[in-house]
Amino acid sequence: MLTSDQAQSLLSAARDECARVGVPMSFAVMDAAGHLVALLRTDGAPWISTDVAQGKAWTAAAYGMPSAGQKAKMDSLPNFSTALTAMTGGRFTPQPGAVPVYAEGRLVGALGASGGTGQQDEDVCSAAVTACGYATSAG
């Protein structure tokens, strides 16, 4: 389980990294069950980026893998992807930009971003997770 203090640490590290990259972003931290723990929109990030970051983080938490993995999987299954999005009330967001958060090999949540390219979003999230002493995979 991620505490609110741990979630805030992830957001702080993500904010620092997006400032270093020079791209305003929003960030969402979900717990392992896909519940929002913390949310941040940096100055200048698009208003919709908070919703997109939450969707990406929810997707990474649901599958325990980067959201980019779901995009790759769903590219050849557009009807199934649309059905999953509908079944989850719009939460399923198979786009790059979120990574799972593992502590001692156990999934504890996910960090998602929106505002840059999908790769920038994912890179910032990965850097933040690592900076806080977590891993982005179980192994």
pLDDT at 5: 97
* Whole-number CA gyration radius for the chain: 13
In the predicted structure, residue 127 carries a pLDDT above the cut 90: yes
Angstrom distances, CA of residue 19 to CA of 14, 74, 75, 101, 103: 9, 31, 31, 21, 26
Query: What is the pLDDT at residue 31?
Result: 98
Give the three-class secondary structure for 136. coil
For residue 38, being part of any structural domain is answered with yes
- Residues of the chain with pLDDT > 90, as a percent, come to 98
Residue 1 has pLDDT above 90, yes or no: no
User: Quick check: 119 pLDDT over 90?
Assistant: yes
Is residue 139 a part of any domain in this protein?
no
Q: 52 in a domain, yes or no?
A: yes
Domain of residue 51, residue span: 4-131
In a domain, 136, yes or no: no
Phi, psi of 72 (to 5 degrees): -60, -40
Q: What is the sign of the dihedral through the CA atoms of 61, 65, 66 and 67?
A: negative
Is the residue at 81 inside a domain?
A: yes
Number of C-alpha atoms within 13 angstroms, CB side, residue 86?
Answer: 6
pLDDT digits (tens, 9 = 90+) for 41-82: 999 999 999 999 999 999 999 999 999 999 899 999 999 999
Query: Count of domains in the chain?
Result: 1
pLDDT at 27: 98
Residue 104 sits at φ, ψ, to 5 deg, of: 55, 40
CATH number, residue 42: 3.30.450.150
| 138 within some domain | no
The CA-atom distances, in angstroms, between 57 and each of 31, 38 are 9, 11
Average pLDDT value over all residues in the chain: 96
Is residue 80 assigned to a domain?
yes
**pLDDT at residue 139 is higher than 90:** no
